Amino acid sequence: MGILCDNIGKIKEAISYYEKFLEICKNIKDRHGESLAYNCIGVNYQLMAEIDAKYYEEAILFHTKHEKIADVNGRFLAYINLGLCYDTVGDHQNSIKNY
């Protein structure tokens, strides 16, 4: 449902579905699913931050959570997203660190 909401531009609604998915994954100890949920939530907060910069803090939080539990490929993606977020808010040192 989160992906469907993303596809029609209902970003906030998509986040609520991803949060439900995240809870299910935590309950059944599905680390891959949990990692995916953190990424999706982080990306959606990034999209929302393009309109209101206050959401970059949430995006960074979820991308950091993603980075902490992801496999090698997932960490690569998390670092790119963190680099983008930090660059956009003007924190170039953290941006470079993550890139």
- pLDDT per residue as tens digits for the range 18-45: 999 999 999 999 999 999 999 999 999 9
Q: What is the CATH number of the domain that holds 66?
A: 1.25.40.10
> Rounded CA gap, 27 and 13, in Å?
22
When divided into structural domains, the chain yields a total of 1
Tens-place pLDDT, residues 47-94: 999 999 999 999 999 999 999 999 999 999 999 999 999 999 999 999
Find, among 52, 22, 57, the residue nearest to 38 by Cα: 22
Element (H, E) at 43: helix 31-49
Name the residue range of residue 64's domain. 2-98
Task: Mention every residue, 6+ apart, whose C-beta is less than 8 A from residue 75.
Answer: 67
> Rounded CA gap, 46 and 40, in Å?
10
